[in-house]
Amino acid sequence: MPQDPEIFRLRDADDAGLTRGRLRGMLRRGDVERIGRGLYRRTGDVTELDTIATVCARVPDAIVCLLSALAIHDIGTQLPDQVWIALDRKMRKPRLDEFPVRIVRFSGPMLRYGIETRVVQSVRIKVTSPARTIVDCFRYRNKIGLDVALEALKDGVLRRRASVSEITRAAQMCRIATVIKPFLEATVA
């Protein structure tokens, strides 16, 4: 397969010219393991980002957000036990029974603003930017806790993952500027 992806779908293997017989041989030898319906991973070291990459391979339209995005951007100390993804409000809920997934719904401009594309474990994923992630933590403070949002804000600004102006702009786009403003002023002061 080209570039030897660590996580791949069966259709990706077909497109790369890997026959199903050869894939079965790789499974028998232990070079590859099946990790889900139509999903395979090259054997080797498993990282904490493996589950995120696997979920995004299964649901290509998913946007990694909130606690999972904090982990990707290395903001705060949260270690999520679930993969937090955002889907279009109108999109059907995917079947991901074998993975611990938490779904939030975005619509309209929230599906496009502050979204970055990264490659994690050879899988192209969409993830909210650091500033957008911090703002989303305040938007969903009732689900994840105000303490997590405050920690993300302080750590994101302190470690320069996001500037105050980026956070302010994201808060205005997400219509939560009045909520985050006092916390932002206290952090900067």
Q: Where along the chain do its domains lie?
A: 7-42, 50-188
Per-residue pLDDT at 99:
83
Per-residue pLDDT at 6:
77
Phi/psi for 66 (5° steps) reads 50, -125
Alpha carbon dihedral 97, 92, 118, 115, in 10-degree steps, equals: -140
Per-residue pLDDT at 4:
60
Q: What is the pTM of this model?
A: 0.79
Using alpha carbons only, give the angle 9, 129, 132 rounded to the nearest 5 degrees.
125
Locate 118 and state its tokens.
């990264």
Per-residue pLDDT at 46:
65
- CA-CA distance, 186 to 24, in Å (whole number)? 58
* pLDDT averaged over 10-residue windows placed end to end, the chain, 189 residues: 66 79 85 81 74 90 96 92 94 88 92 94 92 97 96 95 96 95 88
Per-residue pLDDT at 2:
41
The answer to whether the beta carbons of residues 72 and 130 sit under 8 Å apart is no
Residue 119: which region, alpha, beta or left (left: phi > 0; alpha: psi -120 to 50)?
A: beta
